[in-house]
Amino acid sequence: MNPTERRPILRQQDGAFLPSVDDFAEEVHVTLTTEAGHRVSVLATPQDLDTFALGHATTEGWWDGSGKPPSAVHGTDEFGHTIHLHDGTGWGPVKESRFILPSCGGCGEQLSAPPPGHRFSGGLPVPPSVIVDGLHSMKEHQALFRATGGVHAAALFAGHGDLVVREDIGRHTALDKAVGAWLLAEMDEPPTTLLLSGRCGWDLMAKVVRLGLKQVACVGAMSNQAAMLARDHGILVMGFATKTNPQFVGPWSDVPTKA
């Protein structure tokens, strides 16, 4: 499915407004359900919906990551797209049904510490210079951003070179898609670092905790709640990562201090 739509616009040139066209990132309603009774509705970009479904189930604690990944069945309803996950094991507790906007991955959630997970644990933090290289590599895979300027990207990166990048209008949905893509690719080793094209708030850090990741880097800032959650769970976060003076929160593996 083409995740962009070409629409008429006006452009200002030499003091005049001239008719033109431009590409817009598509935004659709997606309802995700599981055989265990989980249900959530999101606004998302209509590509990589299988990976979104699997990733969301993992980052939100619906599925514990054990055994064969559940299968996804696509459909439509009066609102838009539907995805149903079935044939899975290790389903977690069912929360209330929620509607999530692109900018609020934690809408309706209490800012309490989520239960830590271990699906992506085991990777060792990599040096800042390697992270910056990874962020530059991520940009090369952001085709939808180059076309529209209207989406976020998330990438899972391993120190030995593996990189999985996904884009979406929502920061949290891009992260879910990257997680699902990594799982479906059946990588031999866990990722070491999550790379984010924008800022990192509590909702994204909560997903990191549930995954068991120990390193995050974001092009933008981190929120106070994200920083506190990272400290509590021993996660090293690099904010403003592409600048000459990035900020760090969390433990360095080779330095006996904690920011």
Reading the block at residue 171, the tokens are 């920061």
- 3-class DSSP state of 178: helix
**Per annotation, catalytic residue among 104, 107, 200, 218:** 104
- Quick check: is 104 catalytic? yes
With CA atoms as reference, report the closest residue to 43 among 171, 154, 155. Answer: 171
What are the residues whose beta carbons fall under 8 Å from the beta carbon of 232, sequence distance 6 or more?
Answer: 113
- The Cα 24–Cα 150 span in angstroms is 7
Could you tell me which residues come within 8 angstroms of residue 186 by beta carbon, excluding any fewer than 6 positions away? none
CA distance 42 to 36: 19
Which DSSP helix (H) or strand (E) runs through 28?
strand 28-34
Cβ-based neighbour number of residue 77 at 10 Å: 9
3-class state of residue 157 by DSSP: strand
Edge-first strand listing for the sheet containing 152-157: 163-168, 152-157, 193-196, 215-218, 236-239, 247-249
Helix (H) or strand (E) holding 108: none
Annotated catalytic sites, by residue? 104
